[in-house]
Amino acid sequence: MTRNQVIMVYPYQGFSGTYVKHAPLGLLYATSEITKEDYDVAIYDTRVIQGDWRPGLQRLINDDTLCVGVSVMSGSPIKHAIAISHFVKSLNPDIPIIWGGPHASFYPETILRDEWSVDYVISGYASVSFKDLVDCIKTNREPDSVNGVTWRDRDVLRSNPDRQESFEYIDYRDIPYHLIEDYSPYGQLDQDKRIFSMYSALGCPYQCTFCSSPAQYKPISGKKWVTLDHNYVVDHVEHVVENYGANYIYFIDDDSFPKLQHVEKIIDTMKDRELGVGLGFRGARINEISRMSHDFLDKLAEGGTDIMHIGAESGSDRILRMLKKNCTSDEIIACNRKLAKHPEIVAAYNLMMGLPTETLEDLKKTRDLMLRLVDDNPNCILFQPNKFRPLPGTELYLQAQNEWGYEMPNTLEEWSNIEVEGDAIENQWYEEGMERFGNMLLVTSYFIDNKIQKTTKGTTLFTKLARIANRLYAPIALLRMQRGISSLLIEYWLYRRIAHLLALFQSRINNREAKTSGPGLVAR
């Protein structure tokens, strides 16, 4: 009998995965080609299963199961991806398991070297290569000619390099949205938005020295940032509104605003078609906001925009130059003041700490910037500053390696133990006091902007508790940050424990019963 069923599984997504659960677009994209063929595809998203995820997966697996795919992000999601893979193998050791997704793209060899239950790893854009690989598995062929695949050939690891030189473009009509029967559990904790993520532009034209995008887009020939036609984008919006009840569109572009007319045209077209949905933008830069007029911002707000994620990164001009952010801290402050005049749009800032050569003085400038941003624009949100971790292929990775002998984690276990959002900040280039100060910034940043109050309504036990904690701790957080008091930081210890537990039990914190509204919250 030829087996025909392909099961795609989405694991838990770490701490932020407890409050942000967007539909697993990676799985929909990866299966866009096989669904055109005679395969029977099922999507199993463990994040939206109440309680134990195993029985449901077990019910799906049967004699017709050809293979199981798992999407993997770096950090704690790896642990869950391993648990899923072990469970599948315990049911039937002959079912091939394929990993794909952001972590799989970066470290295919480590995965296969260290994890017996994984049979194939796909790097990079996967819609075509996944179909080619599934065809090979079905017909019992080696995947010698499949782009970007690494696999175990008896005891030897074999690897085909990822040679794709163009962005992956998938027509929205080919995204197999129908594979997900019920979109109601997706969204953000305590909000009633039916969020659909999509691209309006592909790639990024900038060269920030900490970011993996410039390395990722290096092989792409031609322009590194291309827009999708505004009519096409709005057709896509219309499609998810009409067929799946979307009421909020979250643009997951690396950067949506290198050309302001691009977004302007989308908003005008949506208005012409009377598509009243909320909008969120994940990619905006300070040098772009500097170019936005008040009329432009009014138009964004009238078009339904309620959040814009902005890479502020640091309060130190020296660090901003090193990061190639094309802006100064004064410009960040000026942009924030401009945005304060448009309270419908939440300015949500990304920040970083612990960069090579960053001093405690630099970090204190970031602290000053954070306080100023909240003071000037009470409506803004600060994401907890990301602890810098050198990513392969980036300029700063080379510097960390050459000047400080930095070695990135080399085993799958090390990668899985990294709690991307909560690890103690430590690196060989830190000067005295950095670590403690950074941990203080990390924990207090959750409270100084009152974001818990702004983004939740307290309709679940979890958000009720979070709001009480916010009320009690916010004044202490502010005092700690203003005075730079980083001693006796027991709240950091507590935060780590809570974050860890939430990441473990996130399936129990579901959006389904939470029905209120607030701005969209996704860290980078």
Q: CB under 5 to 8 A by kind: which of ligand SF4, ligand B12, none does 524 bind?
A: ligand B12
- What token pair was written down for 346? 């939440």
CB of 485 to ligand B12, least distance (A): 25
Per-residue contact flags (x/-) with ligand SF4 for residues 401 to 420, judged by CB under 6 A = --------------------
Q: How do the residues of the chain divide into helix, strand and coil, expressed in percent and rounded to 5?
A: 45, 15, 40
143 touches ligand B12 by CB under 6 A: no
Q: Least separation, in Å, of the C-beta of 207 and ligand SF4?
A: 6
Task: Give burial (CB, 10 Å; 0-12/13-18/19+) of 59.
Answer: exposed
Rule CB under 6 A: say whether 187 interacts with ligand B12: no
* CA nearest neighbour of 175 among 217, 232, 247, 229: 232
Sign of the CA dihedral 487, 503, 463, 52?
negative
Q: What are phi and psi of 149, to 5 degrees?
A: -100, 140
Size, binding site for ligand SF4 by CB under 6 A: 11
Q: Which of 5, 6, 11, 26 binds ligand B12 (CB under 6 A)?
A: 26
Instruction: List alpha helices for 200-349, DSSP H.
Output: 213-217, 230-244, 260-272, 286-291, 294-302, 317-322, 329-340
Binder of ligand SF4 out of 69, 101, 304, 311 (CB under 6 A) = 311
Query: In whole angstroms, how close is the CB of 291 to ligand SF4 at the nearest point?
Result: 15
| The one among 11, 77, 214, 278 contacting ligand B12 by CB under 6 A | 77
Binding track, positions 192-231, relative to ligand SF4; x by CB under 6 A: ------------x-x-x--x-xx-----------------
Q: Are 39 and 134 in contact (CB under 8 A)?
A: yes
Q: Is 310 in the site for ligand SF4 (CB under 6 A)?
A: no
Task: Name the binder of 214 from ligand SF4, ligand B12, none, CB < 5-8 A by kind.
Answer: ligand SF4
| Token pair 């003071």: residue | 375
> Does residue 518 interact with ligand SF4 by CB under 6 A?
no
Q: What is the number of other CB atoms lying within 10 angstroms of the CB of residue 395? A: 18
Told to check if 5 binds ligand B12 by CB under 6 A, we report no
Cα(278)–Cα(520) distance, rounded to whole angstroms? 9
Q: Which is nearer to ligand SF4, 160 or 328 (CB)?
A: 328
Nearest to 260 by CA among 213, 201, 208, 311: 201
User: What tokens does 523 get?
Assistant: 């860290």
Q: What's the N-to-C CA distance of the chain in angstroms? A: 46
| Residues 230-289 contacting ligand SF4, CB under 6 A | 254-255, 283, 285
CA angle 56, 52, 514 (to 5 degrees): 100
Contacts of 129 (CB under 8 A, 6+ apart): 122, 146, 147, 148, 149
Q: Which does 100 bind (CB under 5 to 8 A by kind): ligand B12, ligand SF4, none?
A: ligand B12
Shortest distance (Å) from residue 408 CB to ligand B12: 11
Please tell me whether residue 421 binds ligand SF4 under the rule CB under 6 A.
no
Q: What residues numbered 224-283 form the site for ligand B12, per CB under 6 A? A: 252, 282
Q: Is 22 in the site for ligand B12 (CB under 6 A)?
A: yes
Residue count (the chain):
524
The listed partner (ligand SF4, ligand B12, none) that binds 422, CB under 5 to 8 Å by sort, is none
Considering only 89, 103, 387, 451, the residue that binds ligand B12 (CB under 6 A) is: 103
Residue 393, SS3 per DSSP: coil
Q: Please report whether residue 309 would count as binding ligand SF4 according to CB under 6 A.
A: no
| Under rule CB under 6 A, residue 14 binds ligand B12 | yes
Contact yes or no for 71/27 (Cβ under 8 A)? yes
Query: If binding is defined by CB under 6 A, does position 503 make contact with ligand SF4?
Result: no
Q: Does 202 bind ligand B12 (CB under 6 A)?
A: no
- How wide is the angle at C-alpha 266 spanned by C-alphas 262 and 270, nearest 5°? 170
Residues forming contacts to ligand SF4 in the complex (CB under 6 A) are 204, 206, 208, 211, 213-214, 254-255, 283, 285, 311
Residues forming contacts to ligand B12 in the complex (CB under 6 A) are 8, 13-14, 16-17, 20-22, 24-27, 29-30, 69-71, 73-77, 98, 100-103, 105-106, 122, 125-127, 130, 168, 197, 212-213, 252, 282, 386, 420-421, 522-524
